[in-house]
Amino acid sequence: MPITKAVLSKEDIESLKIKKKSKSKTRILGSIFSLLVLLIVYLCVGCDSSNSTFYFFRIFIIVINVFIFMGSLKDVNFYNDLKEKQKYVGTVKVKKKEYFYDDESNYESYVVNFDEWRIGNKSFKEDFWNIINEGDEFYVEQAVNSGFILKLEKDKKDFKIGLIW
């Protein structure tokens, strides 16, 4: 069955709302924390805003908050998903499995490349990656705008829990 569009179920809508809310809460807490750090540094330098330490932290906090703001623009896709209530549904095949190892950071990455561009490449935990073979077919449900995976199953086994976000 090729990938087609379908209407989001009530459970899908709740999943999207929870994901959007948790991302928003994380951003707000990050912004508040960074501003508290700036306030603490300001008080530590004796309320001297011309101090070079305060100047450095002020620039640093501004940059952090700009990135937080830019990240919030990504939430527009979640809003669009909730407004349009559309998802992609169908089966996809595993095109290729890849393993990457970085010597410097001692980081391992287990990636599965799917044959559908909308799904793309997904990183899995090692134990899930080991039971996936090239050519395996997965049933997938994915939000249209945000790309949030709602369901990823093979032989009635849930592989969504094995994804690394």
Residue boundaries of the structural domains of the chain = 8-84, 86-162
Predicted local distance difference test score (pLDDT) of residue 25: 81
In angstroms, rounded to a whole number, what is the distance separating the alpha carbons of residues 139 and 28?
35
Contact of 78 with 19, CB cutoff 8 Å: yes
Span 58-90, pLDDT tens digits? 888 888 888 888 777 777 888 888 888 999 998
CATH of 86-162, one of 1.10.287, 2.40.50, 2.60.40, 1.25.40: 2.40.50
The per-residue pLDDT for range 101-136, each reduced to its tens digit, is: 888 888 889 999 988 878 888 999 989 999 998 989
Q: 93 with 114: CB under 8 angstroms?
A: yes
pLDDT at 1: 61
pLDDT value of position 49 = 67
At 97 the pLDDT is 92
Residue 64 token pair:
């952090």
Please give the average per-residue pLDDT across 35-42, as a whole number. 78
For residue 12, give the nearest of 77, 122, 86 by alpha carbon.
86
- Four-residue CA torsion sign, 7, 9, 14, 16: negative
